[in-house]
Amino acid sequence: MPQPSPRPRSRPLPQPLPAVTQDALVIADFRPRGRTRTPDDHRPPGPYRRLFTVPGARAFTAGNLIARLPMGMFSVSAVIMIAGSRGSYALAGAVTATGLAATALVAPWTARLVDRYGQARIAVPATALAALGSLALLLCVHYGAPDWTLFAAYAATATTPNTGGMSRARWAHLLNGDEKALHTANSFEQAADELCFMLGPVLAAFLCGALFPEAGTLVGAVLMMTGVLLFTAQRSTEPPVRRVEALLTPGTSPLRAPGMRPLLAVCLATGAVFGSMEVVTIAFADEQGHRAAAGAVLALQAAGSCAAGLLYGALRPSGPAERRHPWCLAVMTALMTLPLLAAALTGSLLVLAGALLVAGMATAPTMITNMTLVQHRTPEGRLNEGMTLAVTGLLGGIAGGSAAGGWAAEQVSATAGYCVPVAAAASALLLSLATRSRCHSRAEAG
């Protein structure tokens, strides 16, 4: 008869760890150790993943991106369409400049109506009117209408609502004062702007060349209308409309808010950086006999800005935005010297492309911080108007910078033209420093 095997000796049960050790293990569990992730790991999601867990965020973002893509298409499409039909780049440039000036005048009023009556009630008819203006321009060009009709038709597109501002207003409403999440949202929105202005011109040039000259304008109008309809259909995330009486009070105007006007002056100087850089780069590529490559070279600058914007949003910058703003402008001023050095020392378009890629990395962090300050200084219930005023300042700066950069490239040289964005960035830095010093003086006097 077999003997039963001896029972194994039981091991003592593990004693619970002290509370301090358990807390240390919990903290260590959230720290990256470079080890393989297991199902038991419960690490917090990244900032962008947390951002899009907000109910309704993905839906309104998708519609907004579709509506925003044509913003980078319309100018290029209009230039190609008008210059190809009328044989005059001067006429094409004058028409697009007229549309830009009209937008700078009309956009703040459109934004004020959006704040007063709601995004859906105003944005849809305003977009429809702008789309009709684009279609009218297309028909005038196609059927050889007089030149003055081109100016009138393109001026009608000025009612295009600021979809980027409306999207930022939704984030501000949904995040409800969460500064870290709002920083990530602003970073994403700036990266989306850069992406749309990077892909828009490429798509417009492809459509106009591969299909027919009016294709870019036609597709842009359809995308804009479709995107705005999808965006405004997400009513659950739309900011509530404030009382009309409060919006009519003169003292609540964003222009009269403390610190807003100097900030808009900084936007004007920053826009001059963008406008001059674009024109001068096209002129430099033309001097090198590679004008067709200018779009790809400029796209690298936007790509660098887009990547830096996403990275900046994933980080948690320390200190208030008022303190970070001059530092961002200082870095941008320093990096804007790289294209000047590349053009002056090498004369190589390839080296210039690399310099623009690096220089663009300072753009998005600067704009993110700038837009954060605009949000802080805009009175309650007027956020879309305040954001649109900042965009209007940028548009005005782009127009002035384009003119200054074009004059320098034509009268001196394209290489000398790269001094214009450096001077514009330095002006923005000086304005920011002067404003900060004035605020400190007032605080000490108070």
pLDDT on residue 30: 39
pLDDT digits (tens, 9 = 90+) for 127-147: 999 999 999 998 988 888 888
CA distance 371 to 186: 8
The pTM for the full model equals 0.69
282: nearest Cα among 181, 414, 147 = 414
Q: Which CATH superfamily is domain 251-446 in?
A: MFS general substrate transporter like domains (1.20.1250.20)
In sequence order, the 6+-apart residues with CB closer than 8 A to the CB of 315 are none
In sequence order, the 6+-apart residues with CB closer than 8 A to the CB of 113 are 122, 126
Q: How confident is the model at residue 21 (pLDDT cuts 50, 70, 90)?
A: very low
Give Dmax over CA atoms of the chain in angstroms.
115
pLDDT digits (tens, 9 = 90+) for 80-106: 788 778 777 667 777 877 787 788 788
**Identical fold between 55-241 and 251-446:** yes
pLDDT on residue 334: 94
Q: How confident is the model at residue 44 (pLDDT cuts 50, 70, 90)?
A: low
Say what the alpha-carbon torsion angle 280, 284, 286, 287 is, to the nearest 10 degrees: 140
Q: Which CATH superfamily is domain 55-241 in?
A: MFS general substrate transporter like domains (1.20.1250.20)
150 within 8 A of 95, measured Cβ to Cβ: yes
pLDDT at 405 over 60: yes
Within 13 Å of residue 102, how many CA atoms lie on the same side as its CB?
A: 19
pLDDT on residue 438: 59
Domain boundaries, the chain: 55-241, 251-446
Q: How confident is the model at residue 72 (pLDDT cuts 50, 70, 90)?
A: confident
pLDDT digits (tens, 9 = 90+) for 142-190: 888 888 888 888 888 888 888 888 888 888 888 876 777 887 887 788 7
Coil, helix or strand at residue 36: coil
CA distance 279 to 403: 8
- Return the structure tokens found at 415: 């290489």
pLDDT on residue 32: 44
332: nearest Cα among 406, 256, 266, 417 = 266
Q: What is the torsional sign of CA 119, 122, 128, 130?
A: negative
Whole-angstrom CA distances from 389 to 126, 140, 205, 369 are 17, 31, 30, 16
Q: How many other CB atoms are found less than 10 A from the CB of residue 325?
A: 23
CA distance 40 to 103: 54
Site of tokens 């808009």? 264
- Cα distance between the two ends of the chain: 101
163 within 8 A of 124, measured Cβ to Cβ: no
In terms of pLDDT, which residue wins out, 249 or 264?
Answer: 264
pLDDT on residue 244: 47
The share of the chain scoring above pLDDT 70, in percent, equals 81
Amino acid identity at 104 = A
Q: How confident is the model at residue 381 (pLDDT cuts 50, 70, 90)?
A: low
The share of the chain scoring above pLDDT 90, in percent, equals 12
In terms of pLDDT, which residue wins out, 343 or 393?
Answer: 343
How confident is the prediction for the chain on average, in pLDDT? 77
How would you label 360-385 residue by residue, b for 16+ Cβ within 10 Å and e otherwise? bbbbbbbbbbbbbbbbbbbbebbbbb
- Return the structure tokens found at 314: 């994933």
Return the top range by mean pLDDT from 106-115, 212-221, 429-438.
212-221
Q: How many other CB atoms are found less than 10 A from the CB of residue 257?
A: 18
pLDDT at 2 over 60: no
pLDDT on residue 378: 77
- Return the structure tokens found at 139: 């028909």
Q: How confident is the model at residue 397 (pLDDT cuts 50, 70, 90)?
A: confident
185 within 8 A of 51, measured Cβ to Cβ: yes
pLDDT at 191 over 70: yes
